[in-house]
Chain A
Amino acid sequence: MSAVLDRPLAPAASPAPAPVPIPRRPRVRLGSSLVHGAVALWLAATLGPYLVMLLTSLTSERELLTPGVNPIPETFTLDAYVELFRTTQFLSYLGNSVFTAFGTVAFSLLVAMASAICLSRFRFRGRTSMLTALLIAQLFPAVLLVIPLQAELRTVGLLDSRWGLILVYSTFATPFATFLLKNFLDGLPLELDEAASIDGCSPWQMVRHVLLPLMRPGLTAAGTYIFIFAWNELLYALTFTSTPAAQTIPVGLQLFIGEYQIRWDLLTAGGVLAAIPVLAGFMVVQRQLISGLTAGAVKG
């Protein structure tokens, strides 16, 4: 299947079985140990801060109050996590984030899939305008829309509501999810549709029984992208929510930073818990997601 998102980023092995050993692609090569050293350095600079956060979250409050810098705790403890759940609203934030992120994934994926099928399978007047509109929709400054959106949500009673966030997030996640899915669909041969239609499939059956099963990898990548977007979003959540009934983890962390300025064990514990779902999700589908991200810019 020549699906776009399945295309591995690494230069793929030539599909034809090679009868003779192919000479290694000549390329400009740095010394091997130099390359490994540079990559290790890069990864250390990238991942080191996460490790520091994890270690701090496992340090006791008392040890953190002693002066001096010592990133590795003498004794490891989960006290900060226990306290986080017992004495703060963290569990509410977590619940809201889960609800909002999954709600956005479900809603936005549905909307984006419909648009993607349309843009990939139909030719109609205004198609190019729609593609350009999708492009522009994702470039709007958030600060420009945040003020009127707040007024709008207040009018319809969706301020300080997880449903309000889901609607707004879906709007801003949909354009890119649509591009991802459209690129994916463009890689599925039109002959499939035709065969299905000859076999007597209604358009809906064709979507349900032919396109949907084949789109699984594309839907996974787009869904993960939407999840990351919704899970991480700060500005709208900060502005549109005001109580633990709707506040998400980014808002909670932002409040914690103001409130528990010296309790780094608590802050970092919250940080670790905020990071786990997105980073785990990202690592699982990073291959598809990264090739989806790069597909558009690379091919013309």
Chain B
Amino acid sequence: MTAGPLTALPRREQLPAGRAARRAPRRRVNLMPLVYLAPSLALFAAFIVFPFLRAIWFSFNETSFLGGIIGFTGIENYQAILSDPHFVNALRNSAAWTFGAVGLQLVLGTAGAFLLNQRFALRGLARGLAMVPWATPSVLVALIWLWMLDPNRGIVNGVLVGLGILDKPVAFLSTSETAMPTLIAIDAWQGIPFFAVMILAALQSVPQELKDSARTDGCGPMGVFRNVVVPHILPTVLITLVLRLIWTANYIDLAYVLTGGGPARATTTLPLLSYLTAYKGGDFGQGAAYAMVQAAILSVLVVMYIRLTRDRSA
């Protein structure tokens, strides 16, 4: 999904002492929270927790083409991964995809944030328009760029050849060397605005008094930036970064639609390998095992993310 990046964080604020004291008699509210939370909890139990446990179970079984379980095979699916050359390839692609796309977004998104923080006409509108790719369906992003990059009639090749930068049109998405960089560029195009807007919000929350007092204390513009602005926006940048890493690592829509993992597996990332193994190869047990490895690797980032958000609100 495009609208993936989620950043509203829970606050762990302390209640003012008086507030709790003024509450209605305690026994009356005791069951209420459960009533209010019941719908959420039911949804999570049915569509997250149960499937998660089942995915673990799947990964230890051999499955039929239709997804039925044939028999328990223990760690066979995991052993198969260790001796699978495609797995190492997928890991490498995953690393290139995730760090490439997020790195690009971080650098250009930060630049974009500073740009949007300047004064100019219609700034509010510009910020909204810049965020449009964030709200665009992933398939549509794929479709637009498939057309723009079309070797015969696409505008990108047309311009590059017209300017003499290329001798002849390049099939960017079906050439092994260019396929992954092209996917990364497309993802960056879609993801930069999100970074920019998050960092912009952090920039705008730097208290003016802090900057003023730093200036009074003799800081030049660079000094203010280094000693006041950077420390202030750093937590937001880190949280956004970790969130985007997790999200991008799991994001397979673009590669699925644009390259199908090809050419010659050049764009098959680990989650895409899992999906293709299950739905093109019909091996759900093996697919689940790949997905479990993906989840295990990402759990490091998830723990980091939770720590970061907790530090913020502590």
Contact = CB atoms under 8 A, between A and B. Distances in A.
Contact of A296 (B9, B112, B252, B275): B9
A105 interface: no
Contacts of B306: 132, 135-136
A111 to B, nearest CB: 4
B132 interface: yes
Contacts of B278: 146-147
B164 interface: no
A114 B37 contact: yes
A171 to B, nearest CB: 4
A39 interface: yes
Chain B contact residues, majority secondary structure: helix
Contacts of A134: 10, 40
A180 B215 CA distance: 36
Nearest to A197: B24
B210 to A, nearest CB: 13
Chain A contact residues, majority secondary structure: helix
B85 interface: no
B152 to A, nearest CB: 7
Contacts, number: 342
B135 A278 contact: yes
Given A151-B54, A174-B40, A141 B8 contact: no
Interface string A8-25: 011100000000000001
B129 A174 contact: no
Contact of A139 (B198, B246, B271): B246
B202 A271 contact: no
Contact of B136 (A9, A26, A168, A232): A232
A234 B1 contact: yes
A32 B39 contact: no
B44 A115 contact: no
A131 B10 contact: yes
A135 B309 contact: yes
Interface stretch (A49-57, A77-85, A208-216): A49-57
Contacts of B22: 194
Interface stretch (B72-80, B96-104, B175-183, B283-291): B283-291
A58 interface: no
A111 B250 CA distance: 26
Contact of A137 (B44, B135, B249): B44
Nearest to B312: A300
A98 interface: no
8 contacts: A49-B144, A52-B155, A111-B39, A132-B10, A171-B43, A234-B253, A274-B137, A287-B124
Given A152-B54, A234-B1, A294-B7, 15 more contacts: A9-B200, A25-B208, A35-B120, A36-B121, A42-B115, A69-B162, A115-B36, A140-B295, A144-B52, A146-B275, A176-B8, A186-B11, A274-B137, A290-B131, A299-B11
